[in-house]
Amino acid sequence: MIDTLTEIIRLFNLDWMSHLPVAASDRAADLDNFIRYIHYLMLALFVGWSGYYLLVLYKFGWTRPKKADYHGARTHASTYLEVTVAVVEVVLLVFFAIPLWAKVVESVPSPENSTQIRVMAQQFGWNFMHPGQDDMFGKQRFDLVNETNKFGRDMEDPNGQDDIFTLNEIHLPVEKEVVFHVSSLDVIHSFKVIALRMCQDAIPGLSIPVWCKPLKEGRYQINCAQLCGNGHSAMTGGFLNIDSQSDYDSWLALNTPADGPAAVGGFE
Ligand SMILES: [Cu+2]
């Protein structure tokens, strides 16, 4: 029983202290707080409406028949309450939602200052392309894309010689911004990493950048957030590893093809 619970906590990266999934990126705290504030408002509305419902049941129950009159409400309480709720909603929107959105979409980090990773979703797995030690992706060509060359990699390009291709496994260093360029080989998928509080649709023919700064080392699950076919549930099999700089350097060294292009990562 305890083992099963521990396994569930590990799999979903839950954090019992905050009752939310582990927060592993720079945007997570803001987003979690925003979600909390919305829930406080919903709680206040729930308690208020439930209380009002009980009051009405008590006041106008069948044992206390009342005659309807034409005056209606005689106080302004309902107006004040409505205005208060509207003001709280405007505050949530203007002071929390819009600034948060602006921060999240503000500007793509430059390739020099960030880890760049290309994501190619596919029924039913995640292909990743990593620029390797030179931090430069090799050329890609649409006409080269096929079942074994998911990224349309151009084998002739010298910048691509050390590119690393992986299936369902990403490594990136902690404390350095990361940009994922999300695309799909077949249908629409959605690249979702709950620990990073990040979700982006993967659309065939488009490469859409999403970014954040990973702050907490660990191994986190990747989900597909778009029903994409029979094997959709298998797309929880991807993992994102946030490594310390030294762990990341050794992963990079270990996976860099020693001589010439490595076999192109495939989906089996
Ligand atoms: Cu999918």
Each residue of 123-168: pLDDT tens digit? 999 999 998 888 888 888 888 888 888 888 888 877 778 888 889 9
Ligand 1 center–CA 158 separation, angstroms: 32
CB neighbours of residue 222 within 10 Å: 25
**Tens of pLDDT, residue by residue, the chain (268 residues):** 667 776 766 666 666 556 788 899 998 888 888 888 899 999 999 999 999 999 999 988 888 877 878 887 788 888 999 999 999 999 999 998 998 888 888 788 888 889 999 999 999 999 999 988 888 888 888 888 888 888 888 888 777 788 888 899 999 999 999 999 999 999 999 999 999 999 999 999 899 999 999 999 999 999 999 999 999 988 888 999 999 999 999 888 888 765 544 444 444 3
In the CATH scheme, what is the homologous superfamily, with its name and number, of domain 113-255?
A: Cupredoxins -  blue copper proteins (2.60.40.420)
pLDDT tens by residue, 53-65:
999 999 888 888 7
What is the Å distance from ligand 1's center to 55 Cα? 49
Q: How far is the CA of 176 from the centre of ligand 1 (A)?
A: 27
Task: Say if residues 150 and 127 touch (Cβ distance below 8 Å).
Answer: yes
Ligand 1 geometric centre to CA of 220 (Å)? 17
**Angle at Cα 149 formed by Cα 147 and Cα 153, nearest 5°?**
155
Distance 127 CA to ligand 1 centre (A): 12
Give the Cβ contact number of residue 177 at 10 Å. 18
Domains in the chain: boundaries: 12-105, 113-255
Q: Which two tokens stand for residue 37?
A: 């504030």
Rounded to an integer, what distance in angstroms lies between the CA atom of residue 126 and that of residue 119?
Answer: 7
* Distance in Å, CA 201 to ligand 1 centroid: 9
Q: How far is the CA of 189 from the centre of ligand 1 (A)?
A: 4
